[in-house]
Structure 1
Amino acid sequence: MPLLNSPRRMSHSLRALAWLLRYPDDEMRAALPALSEALHDERALIAGRLVELDDLIDRLAHAPALRAESDYVELFDRGRRTALHLFEHVHGDSRERGQAMVDLAQTYERAGLLLAPGELPDYLPVVLEFASTQPQAEAREFLRETAHIVRALFTALLERRSAYASVAAAVLDLAGERCDKVTLPEEPSLDESWAEPEAFGGCSTQGQSRPGQPQPIRVVRPQPAATRSAA
């Protein structure tokens, strides 16, 4: 059972989980022993979860660098189900995602924190880093707001038989949420996900008008050359 009402601190564990989800470059892999130590010293997670995280850490530590990096890209960058950008799961590329990210960035700013250049606020490691800076009750409540997305990510990672599923499970534990599998919708093929919308026919379904509604076109008569010159 997750530690629903544990008085233990969990800030170091949250930060360690954020690091475990980072791209496994040399800096990240050099930090693996410290991440394991932080998780075990704080003991905010149950023993079984720590064993699972130790397995992931061991795999990352001993895998060839290029293999670890290519596996990470294949897992997290090639499909929506396992995307680490949380709002991609619920909003895709719609305009609603943009507004949700603005709102989340403002939440960070109200806490006195600013995103690094080029960083998106819904990136799960960023979410965990932010939670690690908050008092425990507020951090847990903040994480609960994303639990339905993290649960879907956990399920997708289990389906891929990825050791990274232990990180999503640990996030749910720290949020005080059940670590259950959920039913996932069918994922579009990679070709379909990257398909360009139709120039005109697809316009009404891509955010400018509701489906089935005509797309207004403004026609302007050309000005005579003399008039343009005078202007």
Structure 2
Amino acid sequence: MLILKVVSRLLDYPTEALFGAADEMIAIVEQSGELSVESRAALVDFIRQLSARDLYDAQESYDLLFDRGRALSLLLFEHVHGESRDRGQAMVDLMNVYKTNGFEVDSSQLPDYIPLYLEYLSEQSPEYVQEWLGDICHILTMLSERLIDRECYYSVLLDSLIEVSGVEVDRVEIAENVSKEERDDTVEAIDKEWEDKEIRFDDPMVGQCPSAGVHQSKNSLDPNTVNQVPIKWHDADAAQVAGL
């Protein structure tokens, strides 16, 4: 599914090669049958706006947007598991799914990096794509609403993925929750997030219970709320996945 390759590239770090491929990406978008006329027009407009920018300005904006704070992290498990032990196992299981389906990861990025995840899905069947995008629609919607709240046009990319998934999402509730969040990309918030904490020897040992010692970003989903975490690849049997 070429449209996923396009969105994957656009969600990744801007490069000269990306800008040079603008016309090719626009042609793919305009021929895409997975998106509505309105969505195709919005995506084409995004490509034109992005590629018209100075490359270094675009790269700086990207860094400030996605690499400063955790609210807009493009790592899927950041929003589900935070820094809990479950995150590491989920990474291993997702990588095994990639390998089982013949997808070789030639990247320094973690397997749950959304552009990499989309690259994998672009090689799968439409039914598979819809199921796996549907599994992360709650995360995509949350990210989109946070981008909209910051008046950032990158939200178009997430909205395109939601449309491809075919899933109906209650955006009103998610938007309301996002409007109540505190920004985590300010200097003060970053300093507070990473400040050294007092070491206490009377604290319970990490690992005594699932929640003990686990860092969970305040902008992450609650991993204990099952209906917020429909991601199921880490429970899938590899043989079943390969047969899809």
**Normalising to structure 1: TM-score of the pair?**
0.80
| Cα displacement (A) at 1:28 | 1.4
Q: Match of 1:3?
A: none
Q: Structure 2: which 5+ runs fail to align?
A: 214-244
| Cα displacement (A) at 1:48 | 1.0
SS in 2 for 1:91: coil
Alignment of 1:45-84 (within 5 A): 45-84=35-74
User: 1:212, 1:21 → 2: CA distance?
Assistant: 34
Is the 8 Å Cα contact of residues 4 and 119 (structure 2) preserved in structure 1? yes
In structure 1, give the amino acid aligned to 2:23: P
**Taking structure 1 as reference, are residues 209 and 13 closer, same or farther at Cα in structure 2, changes over 3 Å only?**
same
Worse-matched range after superposition: 168-177 or 179-188: 179-188
User: 2:199, 2:19 → 1: CA distance?
Assistant: 45
User: 1:178, 1:77 → 2: CA distance?
Assistant: 29
Alignment of 1:111-122 (within 5 A): 111-122=101-112
Higher relative contact order (CA 8 A, sep 6+): 2
User: 2:109, 2:48 → 1: CA distance?
Assistant: 28
**Taking structure 1 as reference, are residues 27 and 85 closer, same or farther at Cα in structure 2, changes over 3 Å only?**
same
Q: Match of 2:239?
A: none
Is the 8 Å Cα contact of residues 14 and 128 (structure 1) preserved in structure 2? yes
**Taking structure 1 as reference, are residues 63 and 203 closer, same or farther at Cα in structure 2, changes over 3 Å only?**
farther
| Cα displacement (A) at 1:203 | 6.5
In structure 2, give the amino acid aligned to 1:116: D
| Cα displacement (A) at 1:171 | 0.4
Over aligned residues, Cα RMSD in angstroms? 2.2
User: 2:168, 2:141 → 1: CA distance?
Assistant: 9
Q: How many residues align?
A: 202
Map Cα deviations across residues 32-73 of structure 1 (whole Å, 9 max, x no partner).
211111111123211111121122111211111111000000
In structure 2, give the amino acid aligned to 1:93: E
Q: Match of 2:190?
A: 190
Is the 8 Å Cα contact of residues 18 and 129 (structure 1) preserved in structure 2? yes
SS in 1 for 2:110: coil
Is the 8 Å Cα contact of residues 104 and 121 (structure 1) preserved in structure 2? yes
Q: Structure 1: which 5+ runs fail to align?
A: 1-10, 214-231
Match of 1:153 among 125, 134, 143: 143
Q: Match of 2:26?
A: 36
Is the 8 Å Cα contact of residues 144 and 159 (structure 2) preserved in structure 1? yes
In structure 1, give the amino acid aligned to 2:90: A
Percent of matched pairs sharing the same residue? 31
Is the 8 Å Cα contact of residues 14 and 131 (structure 1) preserved in structure 2? yes
Q: Which has the larger radius of gyration?
A: 1
| Cα displacement (A) at 1:30 | 1.2
User: 1:82, 1:26 → 2: CA distance?
Assistant: 24
In structure 2, give the amino acid aligned to 1:194: W
Map Cα deviations across residues 48-104 of structure 1 (whole Å, 9 max, x no partner).
111211221112111111110000001111122211111111212222211111111
Is the 8 Å Cα contact of residues 197 and 203 (structure 1) preserved in structure 2? no
| Cα displacement (A) at 1:204 | 4.0
In structure 2, give the amino acid aligned to 1:111: N
Q: Match of 1:229?
A: none
Is the 8 Å Cα contact of residues 55 and 163 (structure 1) preserved in structure 2? no
**Taking structure 1 as reference, are residues 164 and 209 closer, same or farther at Cα in structure 2, changes over 3 Å only?**
same
Is the 8 Å Cα contact of residues 150 and 172 (structure 1) preserved in structure 2? yes
| Cα displacement (A) at 1:167 | 0.4
Match of 1:138 among 116, 123, 128: 128
**Taking structure 1 as reference, are residues 170 and 186 closer, same or farther at Cα in structure 2, changes over 3 Å only?**
same
SS in 1 for 2:72: coil
| Cα displacement (A) at 1:144 | 0.8
**Normalising to structure 2: TM-score of the pair?**
0.76
User: 1:100, 1:168 → 2: CA distance?
Assistant: 22
